[in-house]
Amino acid sequence: MSITVAILGLALLILIHEAGHFFVALAVGMSPRKFYIGFPPALVKVRRRGIEYGIGSIPLGGYVKIPGMHRPAASDLELHLAAAKSEAPELEEPLERVQALLTQGRFDHARSALDELRKAVAEARLSEPAAKGADRALVDVGDALSRDAYWRQATWRKVAVIAAGPLTNLVFAVALLAVVLMLGVPVDTTRTVESVLDGSPAQAAGLRPGDEIVALGGQAVEPDRISATIRASNGQPLRVTVLRDGRRTTLAAARPRRTDGDYRLGFALEPRVESYGPVGATELAVRQTWQVTKSIGSTLGGLVTGENRKDVSSAVGIVQGSSQAVDAGFRVYLQVLALISLSLALLNLLPLLPLDGGHITFSLIEAVRGRALGRAVYERASIIGLALVLFLFAIGLSNDIGRL
């Protein structure tokens, strides 16, 4: 059950990220063509105002299809129309006309020529696979030539749409931390026993939940020194003095047991929980987010020298850690979910294609140059960026396997 909750939490963060892209694209006049919860194949889909909404059969986040992420090129048609051209040679002339206009950068003329090609495809006698390939090419290039295509937009619109995804994750992380702070967070321990482990030395000595520990080994002890005093016993028997029902009682001597390198009696103390109001919680959540951001930034910087590679996790480790957080309680799970959401935001803002940060960087470079970068530049940069992302994933997966 905890694994399922962890996976759904990760899927929610990805879905929130994509929703940020979607709604900002709508707001600036860049109408997305698809918005899916999950990934294809689709279980159910419906079209509303030119947008296809659907639920995919793979419940891992979602995706948004924004038209014309790149300027259309002649090769975009060649790949999927090859079979159709082979079956219907009469398509060659209208196809070459569109390709020539795309190569010349005469995109508005190419739109008109694409209509002629679309009509020719509709009239041609094609097999089902060839017809599907042709339809896909016509739709994709048609979207890329539309007035609301991404590549046609002003720089601020492009940056707004792309930045919306990671910024939504960032805002969500702050909101989750604020909720945790409003629910209350442990700030230190009390002297009241919360639980006693079965079969532990504490249970054998007669310690019960609700007891208030006032002394160890005959010496008065403050709540924040109870654990340290037990660890310092080096396994020697300790008499625990408690307040029970208002009466001071000294229990039988208990010999601390060495567990995970420390001496323990086997009980947990109740934490002292501090809660915040909405304003105070939000202010503190913003400060905590900034501190964590600096820490993650330092970790990413350490990857270059190899110092922090052991700290990297893949999706496997993220789910495993989230699952453990679910078992630890609702507040802990929300804190871990906030950390993952923040990590997704920062990872996506790295200036590498195909990440969001790469698209933002290239949009700004084009704005400074005053003209577009070539398609080949995007493709080479995407290959390099994807290789680096896969390298990080490989490191994370290796670390996760090593921790199993």
Checking if the pLDDT of 187 tops 70, the result is yes
For residue 316, the model assigns a pLDDT of: 43
Widest CA span of the chain, in angstroms?
Answer: 100
The dihedral built from the CA positions of residue 323, 327, 331 and 335, taken in this order, carries a sign that is negative
Per-chain mean pLDDT for the chain: 85
Residue 69 confidence (pLDDT) above 50: yes
- How far apart, in whole angstroms, are the C-alpha atoms of residue 14 and residue 100? 39
- CA angle 358/364/370 to nearest 5° reads 135
373-388 confidence digits (pLDDT tens): 888 888 888 888 888 8
Measured in whole angstroms, the distance separating CA 136 from the mean position of its chain's CA atoms is: 30
Lowest-pLDDT choice from 110-114, 125-129, 160-164, 295-299: 295-299
What CA–CA distance (Å, rounded) separates 192 from 270? 6
95-113: pLDDT as tens digits? 999 999 999 989 999 999 9
- Phi then psi for 296, rounded to 5 degrees? -65, -40
What pLDDT, on a 0 to 100 scale, did the predictor assign at position 80?
A: 83
Identify the band that residue 319 occupies on the pLDDT scale cut at 50, 70 and 90.
very low
Domains of the chain: 74-145 (no CATH), 177-182+276-403 (no CATH), 188-273 (2.30.42.10)
